Amino acid sequence: MMTAGRTRSTRSQPARSATTDSPWADVDLDELKLSPEVAWYLEDRGYPVPDCPPLIKTPEPRDFPGARFDPARVDKVIAAFRQLRHTKGRFAGQRFDPDCWQVAYMIAPVAGWVHRSIDSGKWVRIITIAYFDMPRKNGKTTTAAGWGIYLTAADDEFGAQVVAAATTKEQAGFVFEPIRQLVNKSPGLKRHLRALKHRITHAASGSYFQPIANAGDAQHGADIHGGIVDELHLHKDMVLIEALETGTGSREQPLIIYITTADAGRRHTPYDEKRQLIEKLARGVLKRATTYGVVFAAEKTDDPFAVSTWKKANPGLGISPTMRFMVEAAEKAKDSPAELARFLRLHLGIRTKQETRYLDVDHWDVNASIVIPERLKGRECYGGLDLGSTSDLTALLWVFPNDDGTFDLLARHWAPEDSIAALDERTAGAASGWVKQGWLTTTPGNVTDYDFIEAQIGRDRDEFLVKEIAFDRWNSQQLINNLISDGAPMITMGQGFASMSAPTKDLQRLIRVGAQVDDQGVPVKPIVRHGGNPLLRWEIDNFAVVMDPAGNVKPDKANAGDKIDGVVALIMAISRAIAAREAAATSAYDDDEGEGLMVV
């Protein structure tokens, strides 16, 4: 409770106990995810009790050596925010006054915690990286503007270089332009700042704020004091982000702020890497006092159409977003699975693809089970070979049917050695790990050497009882001709709706059936046992389909999150395995039908 939790001093202001008639008297700080220091500040400055704690919040650096909470630092940041004027809608022209939830979770924890610099002895901020993840329309642009202006003109930093970073010049402009307009329309700021077309300058300190769109811009000068990274989920690689964070080395209290909405749930992306870090810090798995983050979102189990769920994910509900906006968005979501997925991600902060996810990666994980390659020797199997591009991944999937209706999988992937660096950028460094762990085989040079694949298929044919290997007839290259000449049982398989719809739906069904668990959460009977192959999991997570008017589906490489070659190969292999099983069942049925009859 509040009175029990507020005995700790802020070390700059004495701790006080809330009076019995105060709205803070019976507040549970743990439930609200508030530190005693921030709670004291909110009450002392007359803020109401916030009623919208974030779903995820990292610990504040209370136990950092020499840490103290300085309320004057928070006052100074809020004063800078109050210089801003709204530029659009019903609040146009009015002063921006941060709401209690913004102060509680996005300003006070970052601005208030300080310690003495080991370099100069000055009091400086402890937190150097802040991560704010929330649905659209909750004032992210204004928050970015407030921090950007503060870092440029009010942080007592001479020659401050502050940047608004995005992946393209156009996107960087989307971030910077609203901030430039805020400066032009805020009288208190116009006296001190000059808003040019591509830069905001503060003459008194020789500082500036400008947009950048690539790592080269970030490295130019390499003396960054502050950075605003808007919509982190749009970044495809870590190059710009790493340039920003490593470019702050000469500053005593730099601050890089990530402000974003949830992504589409893809793994091994910059967003995923930062989000996973914040979740681990929040759980206490990792400790990093200089990194702070909050995530406002609903939980997957919440009713997406309940107002209480909307409030949980949108702390600004009723102001921005408006209730009208949420009602209209929810009505659209009720009419379309695609709109529902979009509503969950953009307005409730739940990580999910905008399109309906066809293969559920959580279901896939339940199917993992253990697959020991040595125990597959001599077993009957069916292959799927997706040659893909010679400059990227090639996949071969072996499917081993079991008598109980389950399947064991063995996945082989190849890629040119020179492509791993680019693949690392798309997977946040995971590709190099896949190579070291044996999940991915590299071939010399910048194109896949098909001799490696041919040799591996030859070894596999010696090890396993290979019945068929399905391949795309449009990729009938020299490798296929060599395999056919060597006696490999190659089967052509088209990639259109007619060939791919049924096995794609079969794979979805098998994964769902195999995802059932008992009361203790233990898988009942994994059907598609894949051994937890992380590369194949990444491809499952990337997988997308296109659907025709009749409801037929096929893999959609053009709109997939990234490579899906392994999944396409799996669909082809499982198609042949199921076809063989059905043929065997039909043959057995025909034999039974003839028993006891006289053949004339």
Higher-confidence position of 595 and 552: 552
pLDDT score for 469: 97
pLDDT score for 175: 77
Listed ranges 8-12, 56-60, 369-373, 554-558; the one with the highest mean pLDDT: 56-60
Whole-model pTM?
0.67
pLDDT score for 4: 33
* CATH number for the segment(s) 122-296: 3.40.50.300
Higher-confidence position of 88 and 523: 523
Answer whether residue 67 shows pLDDT above 50. yes
Burial class (CB in 10 A: 0-12, 13-18, 19+), 433: middle
DSSP state of 523: B
Q: What proportion of the chain, given as a percentage, has pLDDT over 70?
A: 90
pLDDT score for 353: 55
E strand or H helix that includes residue 595: none
pLDDT score for 188: 79
Q: Tell me if 122-296 shares its fold with 361-586.
A: no
- The pLDDT of 397-425, averaged and rounded, is 94
pLDDT score for 357: 64
Tell me the CA distances in angstroms from 233 to 44, 55, 133, 276, one per residue in order: 37, 19, 10, 13
Answer whether residue 25 shows pLDDT above 50. yes
Tokens found for residue 431: 């590709």
Higher-confidence position of 220 and 523: 523
E strand or H helix that includes residue 195: strand 194-195
- The pLDDT of 231-235, averaged and rounded, is 85
DSSP state of 530: -
Answer whether residue 589 shows pLDDT above 60. no
DSSP symbols for 551-565: S-EEE-STTSSS--H
- Residue 162, Cα to own-chain centre: how many angstroms? 26
pLDDT score for 88: 65
In terms of phi and psi (left: phi > 0; alpha: psi -120 to 50; beta: otherwise), the region of 271 is: alpha
pLDDT score for 182: 82
Residue whose pair of structure tokens reads 């530029």 in the numeric block:
87
* pLDDT confidence tier of residue 94, bands split at 50, 70 and 90: confident
Nearest to 9 by CA among 44, 36, 46: 36
CB 141 within 8 A of CB 91: no
pLDDT in tens, 329-377: 999 888 776 688 889 999 999 987 544 568 888 899 999 999 999 999 9
What is the CATH topology of the domain spanning 361-586? Nucleotidyltransferase; domain 5 (3.30.420)
pLDDT in tens, 68-83: 999 999 999 999 999 8
Please tell me the distance from the alpha carbon of residue 573 to that of residue 383, in angstroms, as a whole number: 5
Tokens found for residue 529: 């046992």
* pLDDT confidence tier of residue 213, bands split at 50, 70 and 90: confident
- Across 337-341, 424-428, 526-530, least confident range: 337-341
Please tell me the distance from the alpha carbon of residue 347 to that of residue 293, in angstroms, as a whole number: 19
Q: Where are the domains of the chain?
A: 122-296, 299-356, 361-586
SS3 sequence of 198-228: CCEEECCCCEEEEEECCHHHHHCCCCEEEEE
DSSP symbols for 137-162: TSSHHHHHHHHHHHHHHTSS-TT-EE
In one-letter notation, the amino acid at residue 254 is P
Please tell me the distance from the alpha carbon of residue 105 to that of residue 47, in angstroms, as a whole number: 13
* pLDDT confidence tier of residue 265, bands split at 50, 70 and 90: confident
Higher-confidence position of 42 and 5: 42
* pLDDT confidence tier of residue 2, bands split at 50, 70 and 90: very low
Higher-confidence position of 185 and 159: 159
Please tell me the distance from the alpha carbon of residue 220 to that of residue 328, in angstroms, as a whole number: 45
- Across 345-359, 412-426, 547-561, least confident range: 345-359
CB 134 within 8 A of CB 101: no
CB atoms within 10 A of CB 254: 27
pLDDT score for 95: 80
Tokens found for residue 282: 């929040």
* pLDDT confidence tier of residue 587, bands split at 50, 70 and 90: low
